[in-house]
Amino acid sequence: MSTLAQGKADLERASTAQKVADMLRERVLDGELEPGLRLSEEAIGGALGVSRNTLREAFRLLSRDRILVHEHSRGVFVRRPTGDDVRDLYAARRVIECGALRLWNGVTEAQREAVRAPVRRAVARAEKGDLSKTGSANIQFHRGIVGLAGSTRLSDESDRLFAELMLAFRVAQEVEAFHQTYLPWNRKIVELLGDGAVDQAVLQLHEYFDAAEQDLVGRLS
């Protein structure tokens, strides 16, 4: 059974455009390709060994993911979120995550664990003085919250929102330190959830968004 599933994964090979898009997304999100950078078709295509046409298909995919911005006759650029973008992003996250968190009492134990575990791990690392990966830990926490809704579409869209915010962090030159501040906040939310105080947790989450938005917008403008 597991071998069948594995074989299926092998069979479902992706197109070149898809693979190129995935790899470019990685390069953008890990900071190798900075926000605002123009991606020349010739340069990228030459480096990756793919034709311009295929590369343009990949660009179309990534522009729909809001990772890249397509400017007609000027080229594609790594997105460079503005203060307005950040406000828009947090407005969306507020609705999605606060709405999802309210479902806490109606979801499976596995879903709840996906919210708790990232915070527990982050706390453990912080106590050891390990301050790496605080960013991805924070995102995993919020990804877990969205997962409470049980909708792949909602989770996928949230991933796009997270990706865009990571670009904003980079513009603000605060990739890791930013999240660090908010670990106690996440901890408090999990605590409240454990006490069954869902409404309190939602309120706390709401305040977290307000604070984070203000912080990030401030650094951007």
Partner DNA sequence: ATCGTAGAATCGTTCAACAATCCCACAAAC
Partner DNA sequence: GTTTGTGGGATTGTTGAACGATTCTACGAT
Q: Name which of a copy of itself, DNA, none residue 123 binds, using a CB cut-off of 5 to 8 Å depending on partner kind.
A: none
153 binds a copy of itself (CB under 8 A): yes
19 binds a copy of itself (CB under 8 A): no
CB atoms within 10 A of CB 10: 7
* SS3 call for 77: strand
Question: 172-209 b/e with 16+ CB inside 10 Å = b?
Answer: bebeeebbbebbebbbbbbebbeeeeeeebbebbeebb
Q: How far is CA 102 from CA 83, 196, 197, in A?
A: 28, 11, 10
The DSSP H or E segment spanning 166 is helix 152-171
Q: What's the min distance (Å) between Cβ of 118 and DNA?
A: 35
> What helix, strand, coil percent values describe the chain, rounded to 5?
70, 5, 25
60 binds a copy of itself (CB under 8 A): yes
Question: Residues 32, 170: contact at Cβ < 8 Å?
Answer: no
203 binds a copy of itself (CB under 8 A): no
From the list 48, 123, 154, 163, which residue makes contact with a copy of itself (rule: CB under 8 A)?
Answer: 154
Q: What's the min distance (Å) between Cβ of 180 and a copy of itself?
A: 26
Give me the 108-147 binding string for a copy of itself, x by CB under 8 A, dash otherwise: ----------------------------------------
- Give the nearer residue to a copy of itself in terms of CB position, either 93 or 179: 93
Question: Residues 67, 79: contact at Cβ < 8 Å?
Answer: yes
Q: What's the min distance (Å) between Cβ of 31 and DNA?
A: 21
Q: Scan residues 160-199 and list those touching a copy of itself (CB under 8 A).
A: 161
Say how far apart CA 178 and CA 157 lie, in whole Å: 22
List residues binding DNA (CB under 7 A): 15-17, 38-42, 49-54, 56, 70, 72-76
Contacts with a copy of itself: how many residues (CB under 8 A)? 34
- Within the chain, what is the greatest distance between any pair of CA atoms? 57
Q: Name which of DNA, a copy of itself, none residue 166 binds, using a CB cut-off of 5 to 8 Å depending on partner kind.
A: none
| Two structure tokens written together for 143 | 């990804």
Contacts with a copy of itself by CB under 8 A lie at: 12-15, 17, 53, 56-57, 60-61, 64-66, 70, 72, 88-89, 91-92, 94-96, 98-100, 103, 149-154, 157, 161
